Amino acid sequence: MNEEILKKIYNELQKGNRVCFVTLTEVRGSSPGKQGATMAFFKDESIMGTIGGGLVEHAVINKCRECISKGEDYNFEYSLNEESLETTMKCGGYIKGYIKVFNPKPKLLIIGAGHVGNALYNISRNLEFYTIIVDDRQEFANKERFKNADEIYHGNIKDILKNINVNDNTYVVIATRGYEKDIEALREIIDSDAAYIGMIGSSKKWKSLKEELLEEGINKNLLENIYAPVGLNISSNSVEEIAFGIMAEVLLVKNNGELSHRKDKKRK
């Protein structure tokens, strides 16, 4: 069973989903669960394994729901008696355990494998992102240019994006070779669960693109959530530095940060 649980956990992480893995680390007295018992709780609320069932397992499952939402581990301990399940020892058994949350790598979906896309990928390599490269041109989206990318696709951008799992752990940067490809990509993912969608280009370009999508019936609130023009303004026209500004903005969103200088906080 443990081997099956571990395989399932691995597969869910590959899909970009969090998983809770529960282990009983200490059991004393009368308890249906045994020390070392394991259980996995998945994002779709399916469960593999058991820590003994009953009130204890029910309480731990509820805690797993919280942990999988927050992405935080949790230590638990319970005392058992015939009337209640409490957190202090009384006359029944006692169990102690740990909920480990496995967090998948955040996914960086780069749509556009040109100069900016390539520079963005190079910066992201040391940041533990699962990287996906998409472009309509094979001469740009290939293993020679993106040797260590996790997934590389070339061809019809719209069709490719239909088959990519874009979830709330996905950060998307659109930097294709032109207006038409940019808007094609945005149409496909704008109503996805992506944690971040950024688009390269000028304010004038974004205004024009936004007006076109509004005329098509795209929800205005969805458009307001797009980071366009993409990236932090670091006053540079260098491709590498533009990519650095984009990656800084992605990290700011991912880490729920705020745009400020640490030295200013220190002086207060």
The two beta strands, 130-135 and 94-102, are unpaired
Assess whether pLDDT exceeds 80 at residue 96.
yes
pLDDT at 97 over 70: yes
pLDDT given at position 3: 87
Residue 114 has, within 13 A of its CA and on its CB side, a CA count of 13
Q: pLDDT tens-digit profile of 1-16?
A: 678 999 999 999 988 8
**Position 114, amino acid:** G
Chain segment 213-263, per-residue pLDDT in tens: 999 999 999 999 999 999 998 888 889 999 999 999 999 999 888 887 777
Exposed e or buried b per residue across 44-72, where buried means at least 16 C-beta atoms within 10 angstroms of its C-beta:
eeeebbebbeeebbeebbebbeebbeeee
Residue whose token pair is 């996906």: 132
3 state DSSP class of 170? strand
**Cα separations in angstroms, 186 against 57, 59, 116, 157:** 44, 42, 17, 10
| Averaged confidence pLDDT in the chain | 90
In this predicted structure, the answer to whether residue 132 has a pLDDT above a threshold of 80 is yes
Residue 205 has pLDDT above 80, yes or no: yes
Query: Which has the higher per-residue pLDDT, 182 or 55?
Result: 182
Q: What is the pTM of this model?
A: 0.80
Q: Quote the pLDDT of residue 127.
A: 93
Q: What is the pLDDT of residue 256?
A: 86
Round to whole Å and give the CA distance between 198 and 173.
Answer: 5
Position 31 scores a pLDDT of 74
What Cα–Cα distance (Å) separates residue 144 from each residue in 114, 139, 140, 239? 13, 9, 9, 20
In the chain, what percentage of residues exceed pLDDT 90?
A: 73
pLDDT value at residue 82: 46
Mean pLDDT confidence for 58-79: 93
Chain segment 98-112, per-residue pLDDT in tens: 999 999 999 999 999
Burial class of residue 167 in the structure, from the number of CB atoms within 10 Å of its CB (0-12 exposed, 13-18 middle, 19+ buried): middle
Higher pLDDT, 95 or 64: 64
Distance CA 56, CA 41 (A): 15
Res 240: pLDDT: 92
CA nearest neighbour of 176 among 122, 115, 217: 115
Q: Are strands 196-199 and 47-49 parallel, antiparallel or unpaired?
A: unpaired
Mean pLDDT of 138-150: 95
Report pLDDT digits (tens) over 157-197. Answer: 999 999 999 988 999 999 999 999 999 999 999 999 999 99
